[in-house]
Amino acid sequence: MTEQAGVGKEIFAAEHRTNYFDLGEGKPVFLLHGSGPGVSGWSNWKGVMNELSQSFRVVVPDIAGFGFTEFKEDSKYDIKLWVRHLTGIMDALQIEKASFVGNSFGGAISLGLAVFDPSRVERLVLLGTPAGEFEQTAGLRSAWEYEPSLANMEETMRLFPYDQSIITEQMIRDRYTASARPGAQDALRKLIPKPSEEGPTIVRGFPEAVVAKITAPTLVLHGREDRVVPPACGQLLARAIPQADLHLFGHCGHWVQTERRADFLHLVQNFLA
């Protein structure tokens, strides 16, 4: 680990200086982070990436515009750019095909790659991943409205897990520090939907008819008490993807890999192996 939490190695992919971690040996597995203030690959996966790297080659990138990867004012950030960035990372690391474990936004990028370039995808694990259409939740709205401060970071983070005791002062400080970097919150607001001032904001993920074309074996993991991405999204994915299994965790919110760490590791290691 470097002196600054979350800063790893650097490569160039899709015209972006890209921050990433590359651990272990074996079958390549990408861990893709969600969105939100102060998010990075490291903050999302630090609790499981070392253990997974004992069985797999684990690559943990910061997706373009997030974490410690470059944000460009003149770039149009959308699913096509993020998928191109992901394949650019794979090419730079000489990885032809991999499995992808995606949390929320990272799950959506995994779906995008499986739709647009299925030859690069071995298997998918989707955690709290949006799909279909749903009303913007309080958790997603808070990410856009957030203004950097320790108190605001704690308030936002408490919308994510079911068990509030897992949120530590260190977690809050780490996420706040990353979120307070100059321009970080302005960049985030360009990457996520602005809440509507009149009526509900509709969030749109990949529709059921599109994900039904995905051929990769898929494990869908969702917290029953997820207040950020509704469990109905996970049920849609499991229903639509031909080779999908669903595990719904009780007493669990949006952070399956943290809230149910041991179960997550057991399920994912068996599935990917």
Greater pLDDT, 3 or 195: 195
Tokens standing for 65?
Answer: 């515009």
pLDDT, position 2:
40
List, for residues 53-91, the tens digit of each pLDDT value: 999 999 999 999 999 999 988 888 999 999 999 999 999
Tally the C-alpha atoms within 13 A of residue 96's C-alpha that lie toward its C-beta. Answer: 1
pLDDT, position 1:
38
Q: By the 8 A CB rule, do 226 and 128 touch? A: yes
From the candidates 43, 53, 104, 179, which is the catalytic residue? 104
119 among known catalytic residues: no
Q: Which residue type occupies 246?
A: L
Q: Looking at the predicted structure, is the pLDDT value of residue 3 above 80?
A: no
CA pair distance 260, 196, nearest whole angstrom: 33
List alpha helices for the chain, DSSP H.
41-45, 49-52, 79-92, 105-116, 138-145, 150-157, 169-179, 184-191, 208-211, 231-240, 256-259, 261-272
Domain ranges of the chain: 9-272
- CA–centroid distance for 79 within its chain: 13
List, for residues 123-167, the tens digit of each pLDDT value: 999 999 999 999 999 999 999 999 999 999 999 999 999 999 999
Question: What is residue 99's three-state secondary structure?
Answer: strand
104 among known catalytic residues: yes
Q: Dihedrals φ, ψ of 18, to 5°?
A: -120, 125
pLDDT, position 46:
95
Neighbour count for residue 45 (Cβ, 10 Å): 22
pLDDT, position 34:
94
Which residue reads 């849609």 in tokens? 236
From the candidates 16, 33, 85, 254, which is the catalytic residue? 254
CA pair distance 205, 115, nearest whole angstrom: 13
Q: Which residue type occupies 88?
A: G
Tokens standing for 31?
Answer: 């861990």
Which residue reads 């071995």 in tokens? 122
pLDDT above 90 as % of the chain: 87
Q: By the 8 A CB rule, do 214 and 114 touch? A: yes
> What does the pLDDT average to over 209-214?
98
Domain topology for 9-272? Rossmann fold (3.40.50)
